[in-house]
């Protein structure tokens, strides 16, 4: 595919994508609660600058404690909890997390250019390279949304492409858009640029700037990338009910600092509530009674 090289060419791509968005909202099926598929949608996260070694150890211990061990009979598994997909940390803690999680099914994700996104491309590439070298399997990089807002689309593309080139497949690359700072047309533009850069995911938010994820923006992002790129929702996703709403809007990964608590809550909720949450203003009694879980980012 020939990539756009001028602003006019980019605008043509962006407005064509806008026209192709379905007029009616598309709803997607969330994985059944309490299953491996549901748990594996979750990135268990700790990104506070003041995070301590003890807190990172706790984050990993939680993931290890609830790691799903393949091959165990259901009679054993039902008293355990399926594991989250990853733990997501800053570069400082990647090596520790990788060592703690070695031998488990949980991988390490590292943020890049976090959380402003305005780091130089060379700084992002260096940070990403160091993260991969010490054990990160996934990178969550922040898009330079100031360049995006100035319509310097080729510069935004080059920024993402540089990180993608340094960390090709099988490293998973997620591009954080910071949707709370963008208009709908800017979200569409960001999605098309990330798609052109061969990112694996577009992601709503850092959780440190603005309102975080909304089902509306998740659905918009899903409609734009149309399956070639996946969508991650992060920012304010704290309960099973929040997760299901984002998944039904199109999210295939959830970023939250309450990951293990959500997996526990989902495992304890035996009924399949996805249709009810998606089509009713009244959640099931199980979800209505679910406690709000302390969440400081994502």
Which residues are catalytic, by number?
140, 203, 232
- Asked if 232 contacts 252 with a C-beta cutoff of 8 angstroms, the reply is yes
Tell me if 106 sits within 8 A of 64, measured CB to CB: yes
Which tokens belong to 61?
């211990």
- Helices 259-268 and 240-249, axial angle in degrees (round to 10): 90
CB proximity list for 294: less than 8 A, separation 6 or greater: 258
Cβ pair 195, 228 in contact under 8 A: yes
Q: Say if CB 190 and CB 175 are below 8 A apart.
A: yes
Cis peptide before 108 (omega within 30 of 0): no
Which of these, 124, 253, 144, lies nearest to 201 by C-alpha position? 253
3-state secondary structure of 88: strand
Cβ-proximal residues to 67 (8 Å cutoff; 6+ apart), any chain: 83, 104, 105, 106
Contact residues for 53 (Cβ-Cβ < 8 A; gap 6+)? 93, 96
CA distances from 103 to 52, 107, 136 (A): 23, 10, 14
Do 190 and 222 form a contact (C-beta atoms < 8 A)? no
- Asked if 101 and 87 touch (Cβ cutoff 8 Å), the reply is yes
Pairing of strands 138-142, 107-112: parallel
């Amino acid at each position: 595919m020939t990539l756009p090289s001028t602003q006019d060419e980019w605008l043509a791509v962006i407005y064509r994508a806008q026209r192709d968005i379905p007029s009616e909202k598309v709803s997607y099926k969330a994985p059944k609660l309490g299953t491996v598929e549901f748990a594996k949608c979750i990135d268990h996260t700790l990104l506070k600058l003041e995070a301590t070694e003890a807190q990172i150890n706790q984050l990993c211990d939680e993931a290890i404690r609830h790691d799903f061990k393949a091959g165990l009979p259901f009679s054993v598994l039902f008293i355990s909890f399926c594991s989250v997909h990853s733990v997501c940390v800053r570069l400082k803690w990647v090596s520790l997390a990788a060592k703690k999680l070695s031998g488990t099914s949980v991988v390490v994700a590292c943020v890049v250019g976090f959380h402003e996104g305005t780091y130089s491309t060379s700084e992002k590439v260096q940070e990403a390279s160091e993260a991969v070298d010490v054990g990160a399997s996934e990178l969550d990089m922040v898009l330079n949304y100031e360049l995006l807002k100035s319509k310097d689309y080729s510069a935004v593309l080059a920024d993402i492409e540089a990180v993608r080139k340094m960390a090709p497949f099988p490293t998973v690359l997620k591009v954080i858009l910071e949707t709370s700072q963008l208009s709908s047309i800017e979200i569409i533009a960001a999605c098309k640029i990330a798609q052109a850069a061969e990112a694996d995911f577009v992601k709503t938010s850092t959780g440190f700037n603005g309102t975080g994820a909304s089902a509306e923006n998740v659905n918009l992002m899903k409609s734009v990338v149309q399956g070639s790129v996946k969508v991650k929702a992060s920012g304010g996703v704290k309960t099973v009910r929040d997760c299901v709403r984002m998944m039904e809007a199109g999210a295939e990964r959830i970023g939250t600092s309450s990951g293990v608590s959500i997996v526990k809550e989902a495992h304890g909720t035996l009924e399949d509530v996805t249709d009810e949450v998606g089509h009713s203003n009244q959640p099931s009694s199980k979800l209505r009674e679910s406690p709000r879980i302390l969440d400081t980012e994502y």
